[in-house]
Chains A and B, each alone.
Chain A
Amino acid sequence: MKLKKSALIGAAIAGLLVSGYAAAQEQFIGLPSYRVGPYGSNGASLYGGWIDYMAMVNARDGGVNGVKLTWEECETEYNNARGVECYERLKNKGPTGNSVFQPLSTGITYSVLEKVEQDKIPMVTIGYGRTDAADGSVFPWVFPMVTTYWSQASAIVNYIGTKAGGMDKLKGKKIGLLYHDSAYGKESHAIMDKLAEKHGFELQKVAVAHPGNEQQAQWLQIRQQKPDYVILWGWGVMNATALRTAAKTGYSRDKIIGVWWSGSEEDAIPAGDAAKGFVAAGFNVAGANYPVIKDIQTNVYAKNAGNMEDKERVGSVLYNRGVVHGIITVEAIRTAQEKFGKGKSMTGEQMRWGFEHLNLDTKRLAALGAAGFMPDLKISCKDHEGAGKVKFQQWDGSKWNVVTDWIEADKPLVRGMIEESAAAYAKEKGITPRDCSKEM
């Protein structure tokens, strides 16, 4: 066994050395992806979109100002321990180490939350992760970008308000919250309670135990309580089951509003006809008609180099979300290069500056071919979230159709809660928040 173990270790070291080799003028991006396990198909679409976008930037522009993007995947299986191993494995690769860590798993986010600060590698969590990290003065290295769960909840309530004909009409209404009974699902409680108090609607929380493939009892309860709307805060198989059971118990699907982890093709298609009319939030939209996706088609797939095994999924919600990850990463590299020298590899600290000064206004998005594809985004030292708005899409039985423009969250309320929670964290850990007025 000893011999075997040392052989294993030796081979592992050899593997590390071989794959660690890289030439200069490259920007290394470590991808802690997951392509197996219960969420494997989600991971395959997301990381596929991200890799395709970077491949497209390399093929079309020759990289970012001549700096080629390189990347390596590390399988996490959506498992925290494996995620930490991937983080450690990827962190010193490439000429300047890993540029950014984006694990696409809230659990892994928490597991490396303190390590990223020590290692000086920015962590970007787009649409998941720790909500109060949006307070950049307490969490300088973490960027929960585009929108946080709390902003999303608030935007959903605002959407329901417009549907009801004004926020004042929400008074006395009943809103059900069908949530995944986990840390992820419970993230919705604090904000929804606050919103219920503010707008005077009654909130009915209904828990679904993981994985959520049996929801008869929950939907009977919903039928008895007759809420005017149901917010579906689901994940994985729970979403399709919720829609099917809703159809069975006769709850109208166009009154169900899903969060962005409930609103992909992977959630709607398994529910079949029952999903028709279902509305879901998203910080990116579905569809292959955007110039950025067309660029990927012509520069990558036309040359038979795409990452997706199933090319039909190019343009799906999750694939496009991966493209959003790619755009944000590449634009942060570009922003950092403008400050620290074009055509150079950026270090983690420089990347952090790039993320913190990221400014994707509508003009820039149009130039990237992503106008309307994702919201405009402006990050600052204080605000690591940036946009806080979502679009709503409706499933018509075969595809998602955008039904609203960008809907904003109740920013003052959400921001207040974020700052309160971040301050409590800072106090518990003895962190002195940095002074953002002095940051450049």
Chain B
Amino acid sequence: MLYREAGQFKASYKEDQQIFPIRQDRVGMAVILAIFFLAVPMFASEYWLQAILIPVLIFSLAAIGLNILTGYAGQLSLGSAAFMAVGAFGAYNFMLRIDGMPFIVALILGGLCSALVGVAFGLPSLRIKGFYLAVATLAAQFFIVWALVKFPWFSNHSSSGVISAQEVNILGFAFDTPVLKYLLTLAVVVVLALLAKNLVRSTTGRRWMAVRDMDVAAEVIGIRPMRAKLSAFAVSSFYCGVAGALYAYTYLGTVEPEGFNLDLSFKILFMIIIGGVGSILGSFLGAAFIVLLPIFLNVFMHSVFAGSLPAGLGSNLELIVFGGLIIFFLIVEPHGLARLWTLAKDKLRLWPFPH
């Protein structure tokens, strides 16, 4: 009953094609946005903003990036963290070397650098598929991190390859408190997430999905696989790059190339697997799951077993429980957390009068 779209008639193409065609979705979205834009900054503590919400948002963006490539275009990638690094170092260098560079422009340029690099490393996807492509993108992961450490120009000749983000200043307004940084991150993520949502239901998105489902068939009906695959790599890397730049500018402040290591790439991959492959909502749910659960377990263990467990055992137990929960969720819901929402929607449609 709650999710019944009966009675909502669409009188024009515009109405029919809008991003959220059902009224409940529109209202829900507006409420969620209002909560995150208005209520959260008012009530959340610095800890929640700095340590929880900002990283979840940034990783969600990176997960959307990977989801576009893997979930929608079907190209497996293990280089997401490296593309984040390109975005971070790209934005840093634009800010450093061009006087008066506006932050938003640097953010976009950082993302575009990442998109270029992504296209270059996406070229092998034209010939190889599946796990072999994953190995090819693994090369990107190692090569990019190596190059950022090897050539001191990228880090402005810092002795250890570390960059320290400049102050974020938009139109003379300094974003220097956790609340402002959170709002900036949220704004960027919301805009890009809505763009992604729109993109995947456009011609481009449908081309990606056609290539994902069967590239020979897609070619037969007139889709050029090269364009579809490379555009997926470009858009995906752009998202990862912007996420990387935010990671440096609104989250950590100082980043080193090794921070963007293979572990992080795997983490982003796990986010989309847990959250739901081929779902924008899933990217958010997966990022929240992977970022928050270990923290929750750590806090939980400390408050419940404080002192009664040897410290090493506690830490290992957290990992065991975390791994166990991942397996549990994959068995119970192999399509990811986003699928749970789809099921809930279907149920809510009939509730409280199931057949």
Contacts and interface: CB of A to CB of B under 8 A. Distances in A.
A251 to B, nearest CB: 26
Interface in A37-54: 40, 44, 47-48, 51
Contacts of A189: 159
A62 B295 CA distance: 33
Interface in A223-239: none
Contacts of B310: 309
Contacts of B294: 77, 82
A11 B159 contact: no
Contacts of A214: none
B130 interface: no
A33 B344 CA distance: 40
Interface in A18-59: 18-19, 33-36, 40, 44, 47-48, 51
A73 interface: yes
A88 B292 CA distance: 14
B149 A182 contact: yes
Nearest to B298: A75
Contact of B253 (A79, A113, A428): A113
A190 interface: yes
Nearest to B281: A1
B132 interface: no
B295 A88 contact: no
Contacts of A33: 311
A184 B52 CA distance: 28
Contacts of A47: 311
Contacts of A89: 47, 51, 299
B82 to A, nearest CB: 14
B146 to A, nearest CB: 7
B295 A85 contact: yes
Nearest to A429: B164
Interface string A66-89: 000000111101011110110111
B328 interface: no
Nearest to B253: A114
A12 interface: yes
Contact of A80 (B252, B299, B303, B318): B252
A114 B252 CA distance: 9
A183 B319 contact: no
A181 B253 contact: no
A85 B259 contact: no
B242 interface: no
Contact of A107 (B164, B259, B298, B341): B259
A11 B52 CA distance: 15
B258 A36 contact: no
A164 interface: no
Contacts of A419: none
Contact of A181 (B149, B256, B304): B149
A115 interface: yes
Contacts of A11: 296, 300
A81 B55 contact: yes
Contacts of A106: 160, 256
B251 interface: yes
Given A16-B299, A84-B252, A309-B310, A183 B51 contact: no
Nearest to B47: A88
Contacts of A115: 50, 253
Contact of B50 (A19, A80, A88, A307): A88
A87 B12 CA distance: 53
A240 B274 CA distance: 37
A35 B311 contact: yes
Using C-beta atoms within 8 Å of the partner chain, give the interface range for chain B.
35 or more
B347 to A, nearest CB: 13
A44 B312 contact: yes
A201 interface: no
A8 B48 CA distance: 13
Contacts of B341: 1
A307 B254 contact: no
A233 to B, nearest CB: 12
Contact of A19 (B52, B252, B303, B312): B303
A113 B295 contact: no
B47 A14 contact: no
A434 interface: no
Nearest to A425: B164
Contacts of A209: 146
A1 B341 CA distance: 7
A202 interface: no
Contacts of A186: 149, 159-161
Given A44-B311, A110-B256, A189-B159, 15 more contacts: A1-B337, A11-B296, A75-B298, A77-B294, A84-B50, A107-B259, A110-B255, A111-B253, A111-B259, A114-B253, A131-B159, A186-B159, A190-B159, A209-B146, A210-B258
Interface of A: 1, 5, 8, 11-12, 14-16, 18-19, 33-36, 40, 44, 47-48, 51, 72-75, 77, 79-82, 84-85, 87-89, 91-92, 106-107, 110-111, 113-115, 130-132, 181-184, 186-187, 189-190, 209-210, 307, 309, 421, 425, 428-429
Closest 7 CB pairs of A and B: A88-B51, A15-B303, A183-B160, A15-B299, A85-B51, A35-B315, A110-B254
26 contacts: A1-B337, A1-B341, A8-B293, A12-B295, A15-B299, A15-B300, A36-B319, A75-B314, A80-B255, A81-B55, A81-B252, A81-B291, A84-B55, A85-B295, A89-B51, A89-B299, A110-B256, A111-B252, A113-B253, A130-B160, A131-B160, A183-B257, A186-B149, A186-B159, A189-B159, A307-B311
